[in-house]
Amino acid sequence: MQFAVRHLVLAVLFVGPALALTVGSSRLERIPDDAKLAEVDAKYLAAFEVVDDAFVGKHVRDARSAALGLQCWDRITALFPLSYRKLLVQFNIMSGSDPAGVFDGGGTNDVGRRGYRLSIAKSCAEKERDLANPYRAVTPRRGTTDWTLVHEIGHYVCLRGNVIELFSQSFDGDMVPQPKRREKPDDYPEDGSPRLDGNFVTSYAERTPGDEEVVETFTTYVLVDELPGPGDASLVARKIRFFDTIPGMPELRQHIRAVEDRAPRDRRTR
Ligand SMILES: [Zn+2]
Reported as a single tens digit per residue, the pLDDT across 13-46 is 445 444 555 556 899 999 999 999 999 999 999 9
Amino acid of residue 202: T
Say how many Å lie between the CA of residue 120 and the centre of ligand 1: 11
Lowest mean pLDDT among 202-216, 232-246, 255-269: 255-269
79 and 107 assigned to the same domain:
yes
**Residue 10 belongs to some domain of the structure:** no
CA of 212 to the centre of ligand 1 (A): 5
**166/151 same-domain check:** no
Q: In DSSP terms, which residues pair with 90 in a beta bridge?
A: 49, 117
Measure 87 CA to ligand 1 centroid, in angstroms: 18
- Taking the centre of ligand 1 as the mean of its atom positions, its distance from the CA of residue 22, in whole angstroms, is 34
CA of residue 148 to ligand 1 center, whole Å:
8
Number of H helices and E strands in the chain, helices first, is: 9, 5
What is the distance in A from the centroid of ligand 1 to the CA of 11? 45
Encode pLDDT of 139-193 as tens digits.
999 999 999 999 999 999 999 999 999 999 999 888 888 999 999 999 999 999 9
Residues across the chain: 270
- Based on the domain organization, do 70 and 131 belong to the same domain? yes
Question: Does 147 share its domain with 214?
Answer: no
Q: Is residue 144 part of a domain?
A: yes
Using the mean position of ligand 1's atoms as its centre, give its distance from the Cα of residue 63 in Å. 27
Q: Is residue 13 part of a domain?
A: no
What's the CA-to-centroid distance between 103 and ligand 1, angstroms? 7
Query: Could you tell me the distance, in angstroms and rounded to a whole number, from the CA of residue 126 to the centre of ligand 1?
Result: 19
Provide the residue range defining the domain that includes 61. Answer: 24-155+260-267
Spatial contact of 240 and 217, defined as CB atoms under 8 Å apart: yes
